[in-house]
Amino acid sequence: MVSTSVRGIERFPRCVGRTPVSGEQSRPEIPEDERTVLAAQDGDRASFGRLYERYARMVHGVLLAKVPVQDVDDLTHDVFLRALHRLSTLREIGKFGAWLAAIARNMANDYHRHAVPNEALTDEAPGNEANPPATAADEEYAARVLEVIRSLPDAYRETLILRLVEGMTGPEIAARTGLTAGSVRVNLHRGMQQLRAKLSPQTGNQPEQEAL
């Protein structure tokens, strides 16, 4: 699942490592993600690899909300390839996550424009060799939950999959997607309400309340 140039160095505080003299104001340090994006824009592939590690679950979850399961891994790879080729066009480096999520959504839309009509979204995912095989009942229930989540409005669908499937916390979802923490809480709360309402006549098993 290349050296860094000096471009952007002027954004770092000039007083790092010393005490500012009277009347001198220190400038805030650039957040780690923004430093990593700057380095990646300068051609540092290791920095881009770190961005992949931080954002892969988010991209995977956004795609899982929209495309067949068996194609999600390949499309996740394609999203990062597209992002790498377009990284130099990103001007607001603090919005890298929101920019990347938009690329993932656009790629999902492109997928459906070229997909075979009526292709099912609920195809089973390949088995994970590291984990014991799930029972038929487990697989059936997971497929049913995923199908119900995918029937919800986009905002709830993405947020629920990022929380319930990808295992991201609410603050992580906000940080990676660019949504506000309040929007994430609302989406999770309303999404869980709708998910429970749709699952309740089908099964007694329901997602955990702690998902919020």
Q: What is the pLDDT along the chain (212 residues), one digit of tens a residue?
A: 433 333 332 332 333 333 334 444 444 567 888 999 999 999 999 999 999 999 999 999 999 999 999 999 999 999 999 999 999 999 999 999 999 999 999 999 998 887 655 444 444 444 444 445 567 777 788 888 888 999 999 889 999 999 999 999 999 999 999 999 999 999 999 999 999 998 886 544 555 544 54
Helix, strand, coil percentages in the chain from 3-state DSSP, rounded to 5: 65, 0, 35
- Name the token pair of 69: 């399961």
- What pTM did the predictor assign? 0.71
Asked: is 131-212 a CATH 1.10.10.10 domain? The reply is yes
pLDDT for 143 equals: 82
Q: Cα–Cα distance between 151 and 145 in angstroms, integer?
A: 10
- Name the token pair of 49: 């690899």
Domain edges within the chain: 31-126, 131-212
User: Which of 194, 204, 209, 111 lies closest to 148 in space, CA to CA?
Assistant: 194
DSSP 8-state symbol, 139: H
pLDDT for 207 equals: 56
Question: ∠ CA 82-87-90 to the nearest 5 degrees?
Answer: 125
Residues 6 or more apart whose Cβ sits within 8 Å of residue 192: 160, 207, 209, 211, 212
Q: Cα–Cα distance between 182 and 53 in angstroms, integer?
A: 25
pLDDT for 118 equals: 45
- The CATH class that applies to domain 31-126 reads mainly alpha
pLDDT for 64 equals: 94
pLDDT for 31 equals: 84
- For 147-158, give one letter per residue: b (16+ CB within 10 A) or e: ebbbebeebbbb
pLDDT for 134 equals: 60
